[in-house]
Amino acid sequence: MKIFGYKNISNLIMSTIIIIILSNTFFISLFYYYNQRVSLENTLTQLKHENITLQKHNLKNDIQSLVTMINYKYNNDIKLIQKEEKSIKKWIKMLPFDIEKNSYIFVYSLINKNGGDKFARMEINPNRTDLVGNFLSANYKDPNGFAFRKKFLDDINKSGESFVQYSYKKSDTKIINKISYFYYYEPLNWIIAKGIYLDDIQKDVNKEKKLLTSQIEKQIKQNLFFFLFFSIIAIIFAYIIGKKVQSIITQKDKSVKSKTKALANLNRTLDIKIKKAVEKNKEQEQILMQKSKFIAMGEMISLIAHQWRQPISELNAIILNIKLHYDLEKLTKTMLDKKTQEIENLLDYMSNTIDDFRTFFKPDKTKEKFYLIESCKRVTDITSSMLSEHQIMLIKNMDETISINNYQNEFEQVVLNIVTNAKDALLCDNIPNPQIKINLYKTDKIYLKICDNAHGISPKIIDKIFEPYFTTKEESDGTGIGLYMSKLIIEQNMGGELSVQSSKSGTCFIISFEV
């Protein structure tokens, strides 16, 4: 009997399918089990990291809340705070001591900012009452040889606060790794601190691990059951197919004809579906455009507020000055004319500001020749107050001769969006010397680079920043369509290209046009 003979074809097909199904079931189950275990370990690692980050945030928040309450209670009066030092100390001692997690507030009285053997005296420590009143050495090292007091003292001298991880004695006399937040409270020359032991954090993680492990094991068992169940169903199905394969072969022509007819019907309706999809995309694009304009209008209102803040203050000062001279009967006509002229000048400035912003949003209907340096200057002029308020330095290096024939207002809206995003990134990353650099030059193409010195965009998300509704900001601060619309304007409307380069030292958005 021939194994591959025509009469055995159904048995051969059936046996082959069953072997393939069983093999696939085995390897898929094995792969699934391995992936679930790896996923569990990754989840636990991430959970521990998130838990530590949360605890550090809570420690800092507790100390900052304590300081805020002290300042509020004594109306930020330093002399009164210093006078009431004993009362404050007594009040802090009455704060609850979390015995379960050994989380407590302890206080040093700073004696020598430079360190040394008697750099501070322990004022409050509910865990180590034996140290209260004693002088402490900055050179002291924990059981692992780490001089943690010197570390937090160095940080406090630089920034007034410090997070330090070190080993310390717990209430049960065990030496455990601990994370503490130290804050320098200048009115009392205190270092106020609070910490939490890592074994307490690990307990919470272990609880989550036990729960997750139980859930995953249950899920694995359920999935294995379904794998086996569907494998049996598939084997039965394969057996039926094997028995009926001959009839399937004979009906092949009929099936092909039926599918050909269905394909023909599909081709006839394909054009209609494509047209509907295109119309729907255009509709969505119009909605995004409208939303983008509203968002940009909000930015403009914010910028007008920045531009008007100074002249309003000056108007108020002039009015108060006129009133004072009038009350003192020293208001002369000459002085009144002078102050009136100053008021008129300020009102003209504010009126011109409104004109500038109205012109900025005038829609472009036709292309026109314009110099890129002038457009960039218009943007930097209306953002100057906003940047100055946050002490952001604007550095420009621009070729004055470069011009293009295109839509000027749309181009300026893109530049404004990029400059505003750069400002937000600098504030979010809390950069010490924030800068925005604008470079305009021409080589093989015309290039406009707008760069900041923030911490850059994560490589994980940089490919998504031009997608609609993708944002790294809080929900109330960003919509995720600004960069999407900017790319749409530059590349579809203006025939240019908008790209991004980013590293840990900053981000550059690059607008380029053909020469």
> Directed axis angle between helix 252-327 and helix 372-389, to 10°?
60
- CB 176 within 8 Å of CB 168: yes
Tell me what pLDDT residue 299 has.
Answer: 58
Tell me what pLDDT residue 1 has.
Answer: 47
Residue at 513: amino acid letter: F
Q: Is the pLDDT of residue 358 over 70?
A: no
Give φ, ψ of 253 to 5 degrees. Answer: -60, -40
Task: Give CA–CA dist 265/245, Å, rounded.
Answer: 29
The order of strands in the sheet holding 445-452 is 393-398, 435-442, 445-452, 506-514, 497-503
For the full predicted model, state whether its pTM sits above 0.85. Answer: no
pLDDT tier for residue 471 given thresholds of 50, 70 and 90? confident
Give per-residue pLDDT as tens, 291-326: 555 555 555 565 566 556 656 766 777 788 788 888
140 sits in the region (left: phi over 0; alpha: psi -120 to 50; else beta) called: beta
pLDDT tier for residue 476 given thresholds of 50, 70 and 90? very low
- Burial class from Cβ neighbours inside 10 Å (0-12, 13-18, 19+) for residue 93 reads middle
Give per-residue pLDDT as tens, 246-281: 566 566 656 656 776 776 677 677 767 666 765 665
Q: Kindly state the tokens that stand for 329.
A: 């009967």
Instruction: Return the closest-CA partner of residue 227 out of 27, 29, 35, 30.
Output: 29
Give per-residue pLDDT as tens, 65-117: 999 999 998 898 989 988 998 999 988 888 776 555 567 889 999 999 998 89
Tell me what pLDDT residue 30 has.
Answer: 74
